[in-house]
Structure 1
Amino acid sequence: MVEVVEVVLVVIVKVVLEVVVVVVVVEVVVVVVVVVVLLVVVVVEAAAATAAAAAAVVVVVAVVVVVVVVVVVVVVVVVVVVVVVVVVVVVVVIVVCYVKS
C-alpha cells in the first residue's frame, strides 16, 4: 500500500511541477509580447502627428497593461491554489498511510 502511495505521490508532484513550468513559460511569453506591443505603441505614438492619435495610443497602452496584470494575477493565484491543494493531499495521504501501517 505504501509503495503504491509513494508512486502516486511522485506522479502528482511531477505533474504539478510540469504545470508550474508551463505557467512560468507562458508568463514569460506574455511579458515579452506585452513589451513588444508597448515598444510598437511608443513608436506609433512618437510618429503620431495629432494629440487625438496620441491619446488613443495612451488608452490602448493602458488597456493592454491592465489586461496583462489581471492575467498574470489570475494565473499566479491558480498556480498557488494548485500547489497548496497538492501539498495538502500529499500530507494527508502520507499521514493516512503511516497511521494505517
Structure 2
Amino acid sequence: MTFYVIADSACGGCSAIAAQLGQVLSVPVAVRSCRDPHLAEEFPVLAGEPACARPLAVYGGRLLGGAALMWYGARLLTPGRRLAGLRLAVEVFRLRLSR
C-alpha cells in the first residue's frame, strides 16, 4: 500500500519534508501536488477538502491530517530510522508554526 503525501508544490519546506518521508517510512511514498486539478478525481476522500490548507496524506483509502497523520506516520517508520522520523516531525511542527 502506498502512502500518498499531498504537498504544496509552491512551498519549498513542504516539498522538502514530503521528499524526506520516503527515506524514513517503511512503505512506498508518493508525493502529489495539492495544486493538481485532477487530485480529487484520483482521491475521492479529498472531495470538499481544501488540499493546500494543511499537510495531508492518503493511506489505505483514508484521509489523514493533523494528529492522525503524525500517528500513522509514526507507526510506519522504518526500524532504525526513528531519530530521523523525530527530526522530521519537529520540522513539520516548525513549518506549521511559521505559517
Q: TM-score, normalised by structure 1?
A: 0.31
Bigger-Rg structure (1/2): 1
Higher helix share: 1
* TM-score calculated relative to the size of structure 2: 0.32
